[in-house]
Every structure is written in C-alpha cells, then in structure tokens.
C-alpha cells in the first residue's frame, strides 16, 4: 500500500538558505538581483534564516 505524501519538513526547508548549496544560492541571488557572492556573505553574517538573509541583502 502506498503512503500518502505529506508536507512534513517542507516548511522548515523553505525558511532557511543553505550557503553551501549552489542551487539555493543561485535562487536567492536571482530573486534578489544580487551576485552569488553577496548571498554567501549574507548567509555567513546573518545566519541561514531566509528572512534574515533577505534583510541583510536589503541593507547593502
């Protein structure tokens, strides 16, 4: 019998940015209109919270 797919864990994944994952860095850089290096620096200084990273990018 097949399992019913759940959304467990998905909300948590969307709240953070993994600085080591190129696809996530590329997504945020395209979304915010900044370079990948800027996103990586923001993750390093603000942590991996998506809201904090976007706020850090907005300050620059």
- At residue 39 the predicted structure's pLDDT band, cuts being 50, 70 and 90, is very high
Statement: residue 17 has pLDDT above 70: yes
Q: Which alpha helices (DSSP H) does 1-60 contain, by range?
A: 10-14, 22-32, 36-46, 50-59
Question: pLDDT at residue 50 above 90?
Answer: yes
Please report the pLDDT score of residue 53 as a whole number: 96
Is the model's pTM score more than 0.75? yes
Rounded CA gap, 39 and 51, in Å?
12
* Coil vs helix vs strand at 24: helix
Q: What is the mean pLDDT of residues 40-57?
A: 95
Instruction: With residue 34 as reference, give the H or E element that holds it.
Output: none
With residue 47 as reference, give the H or E element that holds it. Answer: none
Q: Is the pLDDT of residue 26 over 90?
A: yes
């Amino acid at each position: 019998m097949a399992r019913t797919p759940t959304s467990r864990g998905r909300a948590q994944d969307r709240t953070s940015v993994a600085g080591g994952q190129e696809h996530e860095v590329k997504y945020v850089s395209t979304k915010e209109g900044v370079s990948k290096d800027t996103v990586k620096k923001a993750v390093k200084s603000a942590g991996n919270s998506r809201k904090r990273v976007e706020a850090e990018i907005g300050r620059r």
